[in-house]
Amino acid sequence: METRKEKREMYIDHGHNHKELKLRNGTLHVFANDEVFNNLDAKVYEMADNNLMIPRAVHMSYTPDAHVGIGTCIGTTAVWEMKDGFVSPSIVGSDIGCGMRVHLTPLSKDDIQDKKIRRELIQAVEKVVPVNERSASHYGDIDMEKVVTSGIKGLPNKYIPDAYTPSKKRSLTHVENATFTFDTDYLQHIHPKQWSRGKKQIGTLGGGNHFIEIQVVEVDEGHRDLAKRWGLIDGQVVVMIHSGSRAWGALMGRDYKKDFQRLMHKWGVGTSDPNLVFAPIETDEGMRYLNLMYSALNYAVTNRHMLAYGVQEGFKDVFGSDFEMPVLYDLMHNYALKEPHRNRSMLVHRKGTTRALPPGHFLNAAPYKETGHPVLIPGSMGTASYILVGREEGVKNFYSVCHGAGRIRSRRATKQAVTVDEFASSMKVGTDEEILVNHRTLERILDECPQAYKDVDHIIDSVVGANLASVVARCRPMAVIKGV
């Protein structure tokens, strides 16, 4: 087996942070600066080689946040033609529809600089947003069938704050997709347990790397006009949310993985990794998975919407009932979506990668047709997050960029390598610039400390240097709410 050094020596360097590697089973494109590229683990290449055993791949790539996942690396974009291609739950990921959302506020940094106010905000939000895995949804009047078939449009009007202005429903227009359509007959395959758990979890945060973060904006000098058009100004407070489809998507991924394994065994196909499953799109298994995956995307975008609704209710408790918090954008990073590319219909898998469409692209949400949409890239709870805009050159990677900083070590390894004191130092504990968290002890969330992640500045440098996207704003965290 080749060493990491030998792998690096096999690539073609196209410049602009774009390397093309000829692996045993096909071609892998890597978009990363030299420092990030040279530190990629050899295991990611083994996983890519396994993925490339799936026939007729049109394109496969890694973004700079690439790291080992189950069956497929997080940070993978993989593309097949719809007419004769494949779908892989492993290259979608278990948290189907997981994504990012940012909301604007009228507040400035000075309004929340006092730690007492930030602590009050955290507590107010936690009263409305369940962050404990055992806590149930506060929204018993939401119809689950309407949510999974119609997304945000399936919610009662009272949960869409701007529903009284039909021509300006930001909740429905300033999102990648408010509704994903699919053949709802496939819902008959959903187990009653999944319906029950989905109902209990709508509007809940979830654990792991999910979060609600209160941040302060620093606009990039070269994009002040664009930032202004989007409603972003220096010193402004924004709220970033990261969550997905919760158990609705997780149970689906687990169940349909078994279906795919049975089909692969029947056909005598597979790879050295039993966690990598795939099937032709047009098989019964493929079509059932794709259609029900769209139900999970509907659940995910609605879940983030309801999380934001809860956050706004918490802010109202602190700043008054007239407080408004319009959405800037919502977009996903775990899915397989039918998209037109190269005058053909393609199925684009993005596992831990985010779509970054340039200005003028026809797939942009209507409010962002002219400018391109905001691309939301989180860092870690102790480092900045970024808002970017896609570039035309992104076509070389099917308009995909990273979805975050990407883990540099596992949760177990993080707990062994990083001390609580080191974690506290990275959170500036005890200083005026302390990043507050909703947990009494940092030890409880040590596996999510900044030291568990790659340097987000290197990740963004990789993306910008590859001409995939440009930075519009940097967002520095001031308070973080994590689930457990």
Which residues carry out catalysis?
403
In whole angstroms, how far apart are CA 458 and each of 64, 405, 463? 8, 9, 9
381 known ligand binder: yes
Phi-psi group of 209: left, alpha or beta (phi > 0 → left; psi -120 to 50 → alpha; rest → beta): alpha
379 known ligand binder: yes
How is the beta sheet containing 59-67 ordered, strand by strand?
11-13, 18-23, 26-31, 59-67, 74-81, 344-351, 334-341
454 known ligand binder: no
83 known ligand binder: no
95 known ligand binder: yes
211 known ligand binder: yes
- Cβ count within 10 A of residue 258: 10
213 known ligand binder: yes
| CA 197 remoteness from chain centre | 22
380 known ligand binder: yes
443 known ligand binder: no
Helix (H, G, I), strand (E, B) or coil at 300: helix
114 known ligand binder: no
405 known ligand binder: yes
Helix (H, G, I), strand (E, B) or coil at 350: strand
Return the closest-CA partner of residue 337 out of 293, 392, 376: 293
**Crossing angle between the packed helical segments 284-319 and 246-267, to the nearest 10 degrees:** 160
378 known ligand binder: yes
406 known ligand binder: yes
- Outline where DSSP puts E strands in 94-136: 99-108
In whole angstroms, how far apart are CA 84 and each of 105, 109, 282, 289? 47, 53, 8, 16
Q: Which residues are annotated as a binding site for Mn(2+)?
A: 95, 210, 242, 333
Q: Which residues are annotated as a binding site?
A: 95, 209-213, 242, 333-334, 378-381, 385, 403-406, 482
Q: Which residues are annotated as a binding site for GMP?
A: 209-213, 333-334, 378-381, 385, 403-406, 482
